[in-house]
A and B are shown apart, each in its own frame.
Chain A
Amino acid sequence: MNSLYVHIPFCIKKCLYCDFNSNSDLNLQDAYVEALIKEIRSLDYDEFNTIFVGGGTPTILNLKNMEKLLKELMKFNSKEFTFEANPGTITGDKIKLLKEFGVNRISMGLQAWQDRLLKKLGRVHDLNDFLFSYDLIRKEQFNNVNIDLMFAIPEQSVEDWIETVDNVLKIKPEHISCYSLIIEEGTPFYKMEMEGELKVVDESDERQMYYYSVSKLNSNGLNQYEISNFSMNGYECKHNITYWKNKEYIGVGSGAHSYENGFRYFNIRKTDGYIKAMANGSAVEERIKITKNDEISEYMFLGLRMIEGINKKDFEERFNLKVEDIFQKEIIKLERQNLIINDKSSIKLTPKGIDLSNQVFLHFLME
């Protein structure tokens, strides 16, 4: 199997914009890790090409639980083994442990260089916490580190963003993810926006920020390989590429999603519900059959997120159909609108197509 995702739902405190599956019930961690290990042991696979431990905040687990979990995961002999490590929860002991059990890639959430923006986002750390943690990680000889950044943060100026990108480049991470803040329903930010308390970044500043990151990072050896992801050559995140190439994967833990044997399915989202369900053997909440049309749609809208686009030969081998057989009309229209480039071997987004990627993807959804 290609990839394994492991979800750790705990956080010290939920950030104001976050709609991921996380909570602060840290007293559940022993029971949770036990349930998680039970689920991992129930898997029918001996090997995973990549493992990604994400959250929440995986480094919030105590040493004992981290070690128990890492022991289980080490058996899978992954080539890429990522652990999310958030500033404010990292200690020297934890970093050593990660190294010892074969973790070879660290993903850190910084989001912004300015403490005032970190505060605005409700992050639990400041810039110094981040720099301290980053230093610890580098001292342990981790040579594949990602830094998550966020733009279009309320009250963020274009200058703030330039400062963030420029300074992050100086500390030379191998990989950077830049996401535009989206205010999701159900988050405190959403409520604040509804009440008019959030000074949102306007669209033209938002695009300016994005264009800045693309040109600055590309010219500094961090090549854009996906709408929001940049890396040095050879340091692309293989785990995420599994998703974008629409390949199968397994997810374990509360709310984790899997794609296996033509089905997408996911676990119960609540931590306590997941623990209880695992005690009875399985936490799968729902299974959805992916039809061939679903698969083609997903292949297109995921694959087009990659800068190299979708490979026509790969498409043909997978579906026994030429991509033009299905989407001839759409391709011509999108090409005419200058949203995609259609060449002999691939279809990819233009810069304008990246800005309006949803508008492109809509054309590839099949009934």
Chain B
Amino acid sequence: MASSRQKRIRNFCIIAHIDHGKSTLADRLIEKTGTLTQREMEAQVLDTMELEKERGITIKAQAVRLIHTDENGQEYILNLIDTPGHVDFNYEVSRSLAACEGAILVVDATQGIQAQTLANCYLALDHDLEIVPVINKIDLPSARPDEVKQEIEDIIGLDASDAPLISAKVGLGIEEVLKTIVEKIPCPSGDEEDPLRALIFDSYYDSYKGVVCYVRVMEGSIKPGTKIRLMATEKEYEVAEVGIFTPSLLNTQELKAGDVGYVTASIKNVRDARVGDTITEAERPAKEPLEGYRPAIPMVYCGIYPADGAKYTELREALEKLQLNDAALVFEPETSIALGFGFRCGFLGLLHMEIIQERLEREYNLDLVTTAPSVIYKITKTNGEVIDLTNPTNMPEPSEIDYMEEPIVKASIICPTEFVGAVMDLCQEKRGTFKNMEYLETTRVMLHYVMPLNEIVYDFFDTLKSRTKGYASLDYELAGYMQSELVKLDILLNGDIVDALSQIVPKERAYQKGRAIAEKLKDIIPRQMFEIPIQAAIGSKIIARETIRALRKDVLAKCYGGDITRKKKLLEKQKEGKKRMKQIGTVEVPQEAFMSVLKVD
């Protein structure tokens, strides 16, 4: 039974396909409830990272407490939890959902249901959330709200007949959304007197407070001085501070069952207060932790090296700092013959990888050489030993390998019927196995495929978008491992294997890939003073060869009327270009070459 205090609380999140207006609706709700004044508002107010605003995506979860007064003068506390919107962060999303009783499902009135709409919706249903559909962008001339309502009913099976029709952009219908939240979303329950159980749904490191845990208190209460235990990591701390999000942190006396807020306890590392863990009292612990905890598991690995070898220590320090705040980032030192000292880093997915790279380059001003990302292959050796391969260089001799497995995903793609052929061709090229196809309506279908993760980690989504004129949407989830015929493809420059260019490829594509990579490298590596053979090899067998001809001439044009400055600038530019290259043996290789091996078909 909910207490009278709890009856005036609603905890909810907003779920949507990318660009359907999730962050804009959050902005409007914050504005409408007067949580922030107009002056304090800025677009995507909950996306605090520069990168989030730039890319229009949410990477970290955020929370904000809204105070809504209904027409009878009754005040409600609405805790909005903004979740990341990318498949890389699916686990984080699931924890945020677990902190809520309901979700607002935002659907674009023109585009209708998309792959992520469905995926997020199912995720919310898994957590028994009450889903409240909202039709957004109805101000656009192309809006077709009635059809979209029908889609929601037909495809998801939700009653959308009284779904608010809104435009978050122009601020239309926001009041109605607030009303619907209060009416439709259940209030929290949970006994305030029970032993404490609080779910950590996100955390970040603050250099003054230590780790700030975002929590939802399920049962019991927590206040400064409470001795707490983290049930997964089994660490104990004393609470220093609790509070709520306004959205900036506001210190309060206590958090009780049903509340969303933050807890600090001089925790030194986000690894000690992991997302999904349960906080309980040390002296009166709960019997069971909350369900659903799992440690973050990296899915994709790549080598990250400083372009300037002397910056190795700086790179390590930067990774350590990022790791303070990112329990999913793992790294360990590795040495490449070609690239020197660097790190093998593991990420949740490609977006996560790109974000870390970009932050290293921007926030820590590092110039990086990144190798092509690789998934984790499982190798069963003839002696029965099973190893996880994260770096192609470490692949055992073929004679020692019994069989290999690669990770696969279940992918669902929604697209208009006219692009079905194009999508099927693409999935086929990417070694996909067709499962089935459903008609969502007469003009749109959803295709289900099982595909190797390796095939979608790089540019699958971009290619899908371009082959369907932007109409297709994609969602995928991991679906275990599958046995595959795989080989290690090596690249030799000037006769020597460049370890940083090796990759694992399906056997039947090896020849084609080898040729394509050799051709690509021929274009990317500039001519040098001697001839450079490029070879692709499997084991000792050369399967492709290209030659970069020796540079025969590099002379400046006529220097006229004493314009020395211009000549010098040209030379300096040339030298700058050279400096950005990696010296491998006697060959100078541009940094982009290491990623380029992935971009061939």
Contacts and interface: CB of A to CB of B under 8 A. Distances in A.
B554 A54 contact: no
A200 to B, nearest CB: 13
A21 B572 CA distance: 23
A180 B427 CA distance: 52
Contact of B553 (A21, A206, A246, A258): A206
B565 A251 contact: no
B555 A180 contact: yes
B563 A362 contact: no
Contacts of A362: 571, 574-575, 578
B551 interface: yes
A302 B555 contact: no
A203 B557 contact: no
A354 B574 CA distance: 17
Nearest to A240: B559
Nearest to B564: A298
B571 A361 contact: yes
Nearest to B579: A362
Given A301-B567, A337-B529, A361-B571, A251 B562 contact: yes
A288 B569 CA distance: 13
B556 A20 contact: no
A357 B570 CA distance: 13
A79 to B, nearest CB: 19
Contacts of A54: 560-561
A361 B554 CA distance: 10
B564 A297 contact: no
B287 interface: no
B529 A356 contact: yes
B558 interface: yes
Interface string B34-69: 000000000000000000000000000000000000
Question: Which of A228, A243, A357, A358 has the most CB atoms of chain B within a 10 A radius of its CB?
Answer: A358
A356 B575 contact: no
A251 B561 contact: yes
Nearest to A6: B561
B568 interface: yes
B555 A257 contact: no
A256 B561 contact: yes
A229 B245 CA distance: 76
Nearest to A227: B555
Contacts of B559: 243
A236 B572 CA distance: 29
A156 to B, nearest CB: 16
B265 to A, nearest CB: 50
A54 B557 CA distance: 17
A259 B561 CA distance: 11
Contacts of B578: 362
B568 A297 contact: yes
Nearest to A362: B575
A207 B553 CA distance: 8
B562 A356 contact: no
Contacts of B555: 180, 227, 354-358
Given A337-B529, A359-B529, A361-B571, A204 B563 contact: no
Interface residues of A, number: 43
B552 interface: yes
A298 B575 CA distance: 14
Given A359-B529, A361-B571, A365-B575, A264 B565 contact: yes
A257 B563 contact: yes
A298 B572 CA distance: 11
A355 B554 contact: yes
Nearest to B563: A257
A207 B552 contact: yes
Contacts of A354: 555
B553 A259 contact: no
Nearest to A239: B562
A266 interface: yes
Contacts of B574: 358, 362
Contacts of A337: 529
Nearest to B527: A203
Contacts of A207: 552-553
A321 interface: no
A288 B564 CA distance: 12
A5 interface: yes
A203 B550 CA distance: 11
Nearest to A17: B557
B560 A302 contact: no
Given A298-B568, A301-B571, A362-B575, A356 B553 contact: yes
Contacts of A297: 568
B554 A302 contact: no
Nearest to A203: B552
A88 to B, nearest CB: 20
Contacts of A249: 562
A206 B578 CA distance: 25
Nearest to A302: B564
A357 B563 contact: no
Contacts of B564: 243, 246, 257, 259, 264, 298, 302
Interface in B512-558: 529, 551-558
A361 B573 CA distance: 12
B528 to A, nearest CB: 9
Contacts of A302: 564
A161 to B, nearest CB: 15
Interface in A294-312: 294, 297-298, 301-302
Given A294-B568, A301-B567, A365-B575, 8 more contacts: A5-B562, A7-B561, A243-B562, A243-B564, A256-B562, A298-B564, A355-B552, A359-B529
7 contacts: A21-B561, A227-B555, A246-B564, A257-B565, A264-B564, A356-B555, A362-B575
Question: Which 6 A-B residue pairings sit nearest by Cβ, starting from the closest?
Answer: A182-B557, A358-B554, A257-B562, A362-B575, A179-B558, A356-B554
